[in-house]
Structure 1
Amino acid sequence: MTTVLFVTFLDTTIVSVALGDIRRDLSTDVTSLQWVVNAYTLVFAGLMLAGGSLGDRWGRKRVMIVGLVIFCLGSVVAALATSVAALIAGRAIMGVGAAASEPGTLSVLRHVFPEERARARAIGVWAAVSGLALAAGPVLGALLVHAGGWRSIFWFNLVIGAAALIAAVLSVPESADPRPFPLDWPGILLGAGFLGAGVYAATLGEESGYDAPAVIALFAVAVLALVGFVAAERRSPAPILELRYLRLSAVRGALVVAFAVYFGIFSIFFFTALYLQVMQSYSGARTAAVFAPMAAAIVIGALAAGSWVARRGASVPMIVGCVIGASGILSTRHVLAGELHDPTLATAMAVAGLGFGLAVVPLTSAVMSGVPAEHSGMAAAVTNTMRQVGSAVGVAVLGALVNSFLTADLRTRMTELGLPAELQPAAVEAVERGRIPEDVDITPYLRYLSKVSEVLATGKTAFHHGLDVALLVSAVAILAAAAYTAIDGAIHRTREDPVSPPE
């Protein structure tokens, strides 16, 4: 289970440190780079409920193996890509495979470890491996890019995917919950439509503006799909998501925290890594060194949380993990605001990693314990869907913030330097891509060459401005989720155990 989990979660972040090289090699912009990340996480999230439901119905091992074959195929497509569109397509295929294979890694544990305390410790190991995969992604990715270029990442994925496939065939026990009802196709299609349209609208809005007709239409489609999904799940005899489980306070709070934590994680994994490489000229090896303590801290936090949850329950560790994680993000934000020192930055990021590790185990345990064993695939799928949705929305929303500050600050500075408005879009694009677009006539820009260094300096400052806001938003979101969970849990306990009146 942990081998399969490692390969699917590793690919959520391993590409983050290759974005600078992909940007230069394929001459693409920040928005397209976001889709290199989002194509995987969005498809992963959109189809994971379907993957969990299919595993419950057709056999968790069988669906897992099919998913790993698809994942390996997508790795080959991405490794051979000669354009950013082909790379995004390969990443999307990998997302389909991950959505089929990953839910089984958690749902099988529900059956192998039926006793709650043992299951909490097993989930601690599961979460430690998932955290290790997420945090090790930038480290391994940096080493691979340094050794063989960004394409080596996807050849590495193929090797690890094949190893996971062999491990699954040899060791995973088959389990299923056959049902006489037909598959919930309306739920599958409407759920994927809601997620796809919503995140695509958020990303497209960065380029076209959020008042653009296409963006408004996509948001409208997302809302309609969500309404349709809820209606379909209420009527379906075998829904991919039992909405009644959301009435449980522990399950509801855990899913809110899952979304917020993974929303915040990507402010570090994606944008901090991109800032260090593109704007601070960090090499792959140096980036790996900065991220390595964070990887270790996530593993330590997850293993410690497994024992803590087994002894004391999920609520307190989850809230403590959120507070520590948010503190680490704010510390990272503070360090990036001054002169960079790698040990200080690595320490701040390690604090965030410790909090993430502590939070992931209890939120996972709360959902898996609150849902009956026969629906373990659904429980695993909805937990990981919220994690992946948080990741995808985090990249989209935080990307919109970073990109808007980058563009606005650059345009303001260019206007101050006297660059005509009609020349500014191509100049902004050149800063984002790291090179002059091939179809641009540079003759009108020659008279402004003396001011290029000022524009580049402004680009670095503008990117940091956006990153600074993105980190702040991430920390606030995680703290808000912790507060919601604490208050909702307290209200729920009060209703269950009212205080007796005095005699």
Structure 2
Amino acid sequence: MGIALAAVAMLALLFPLVEAPTIGWRPWMWPMVLASLPLAWVFFRWQIRQEARGAPQLLPMRLVRSGPFLSGGVLNAVLFSAVPSYFFVIAMYLQAGYGLSALESGLTTAPFPVGVLAASATTSWFGSRWLRFRVAAGGLLFGVGFLGQAWAIHGMGDQIDWLRMAPWFLAGGFGLGNAVSPLFQVALAAADRHDSGSASGAVQAMRQIGIAFGVAIMGGLFFAILGGAETGDHAAYRNAMFGAIAYAGLAAAVIALAPVFAPIRLESED
């Protein structure tokens, strides 16, 4: 029952958000999004009932009541709301705005995953130390990457300058890699070994919801500013990218400031 309720609630929310950037907001989408709220409420009431009966729960309520788990999960959603959505709009900018092929577009953004890979070395060395500092520093560097992209795009001429964009993709990827690991650690450390599977699945679900929101919001901003611009209109695509970067920068600021306001710590530190 819990699986069915969670699946229906997530479908009602995610399907319109995923489809809206492609086909636009249709009248039937709003009732689906609104219906996701009472469906989520019914799901949580069912979980509470299962907890009271001592029955298995899809998402253990003790995790929901854990500040570190919620902080890690929600911030994961915020962080990833700015990643796939950005690569969606930057691909539009490079391919429709400047006529690059899919391969050329992919190679232009390749420094970003290189930065994420480089961050894996630092995260393995840090282990579970300095979580708050790493989240703040990672979020700050993530934001610097987007600001640098705005600077690179602002000064772009009639041809894409790969070297002008590459350092900022690298910085953004390195920031993402350094922020996501401690956030995931915080969320999973709040669960005991019996709940580890549920906790991991819940964080992944929050991440997918964040991605869907990001694609809808950033894609909506991009296409709203782009309007009816023709393919190859550099100025129009540049302005549309600025709108998308504004959302990405906001998400990065939330991550960078999170350690000040959110309980980003391991349960053992309480």
TM-score, normalising length: structure 1:
0.48
Cα separation, 2, equivalents of 1:265 and 1:290? 16
Q: Which residue of 1 aligns with 2:12?
A: 197
Q: Distance in 1 between matches of 2:125 and 2:110?
A: 24
The alpha carbon displacement at 1:216 in A equals 2.3
The equivalent of 2:71 in structure 1 is: 253
- Give, in whole Å, the separation in 2 of the partners of 1:477 and 1:249: 20
Name the residue aligned to 2:246: 472
Q: Equivalents in 2 of 1:287, 1:208: separation in Å? A: 25
Cα pair 1:203 1:400 within 8 Å, conserved: no
Mapping for residues 197-346 of structure 1, pairs under 5 Å: 197-203=12-18, 205=20, 207=23, 209=25, 213-236=27-50, 237-310=55-128, 312-339=129-156, 340-346=160-166
Residue 489 of structure 1 aligns to a residue in which SS?
coil
Unaligned residue ranges in structure 1 (runs of 5+): 1-184, 411-430, 432-454, 497-503
The residue identity in structure 1 corresponding to 2:44 is V
Q: Distance in 2 between matches of 1:492 and 1:244?
A: 15
Q: Which has the higher helix share?
A: 1
Q: Relative to structure 2, which stretch is displaced further, 328-337 or 197-206? A: 197-206
Q: CA deviation at 1:382?
A: 1.4
Q: Is the 8 A contact 1:254 1:485 kept in 2?
A: no
Larger radius of gyration: 1
What's the counterpart of residue 462 of structure 1? 236
Which 4+ residue blocks in structure 1 deviate beyond 4 angstroms?
203-209, 455-458, 490-493
Larger relative CO (CA 8 A, sep 6+): 1 or 2? 2
Q: How many residues align?
A: 260
Query: What is the CA–CA distance in structure 2 between the aligned matches of 1:246 and 1:315, rounded to whole Å?
Result: 21
Aligned-partner Cα distance in 2 for 1:193–1:397: 22
The answer to whether the Cα contact below 8 Å between 1:267 and 1:471 also exists between their aligned partners in 2 is no
Cα distance in 1 for partners of 2:195, 2:265 equals: 27
Question: CA separation in 2, counterparts of 1:258 and 1:274?
Answer: 25
| C-alpha distance in structure 1 between counterparts of 2:199 and 2:264, whole Å | 23
What is the RMSD of the two structures over their aligned residues, measured on CA atoms? 2.5
State how far apart, in whole Å, the 2-side matches of 1:367 and 1:353 are: 21
1:128-186, Cα deviation, whole Å (9 max, x unpaired): xxxxxxxxxxxxxxxxxxxxxxxxxxxxxxxxxxxxxxxxxxxxxxxxxxxxxxxxx2x
3-state SS of paired residue (1:374): coil
More deviation, 238-247/321-330: 238-247
Is the Cα–Cα contact under 8 Å of residues 290 and 342 in structure 1 kept in the other structure?
yes
Measured in 2, the distance between the counterparts of 1:273 and 1:370 equals 38
Query: In structure 2, what is the Cα distance between the partners aligned to 1:221 and 1:263?
Result: 22
- The answer to whether the Cα contact below 8 Å between 1:320 and 1:355 also exists between their aligned partners in 2 is yes
Change (3 A) 1:479 1:372: same
| Residues 1:405 and 2:225 aligned together | yes
| 1:323-357 superposed Cα distances (whole Å, 9 cap, x missing partner) | 11111112112211221421120111110000011
Distance 2:41 2:236 in 1: 39
State the shift of 1:396 in Å: 1.8
Which structure 2 segments of 5+ residues have no match? none
Contact 1:302 1:360 in 2 (8 A): no
Q: Distance in 1 between matches of 2:24 and 2:161?
A: 37
Q: For residues 244 and 255 of structure 1, do their structure 2 counterparts lie closer, same or farther at Cα, with a shift above 3 Å needed?
A: same
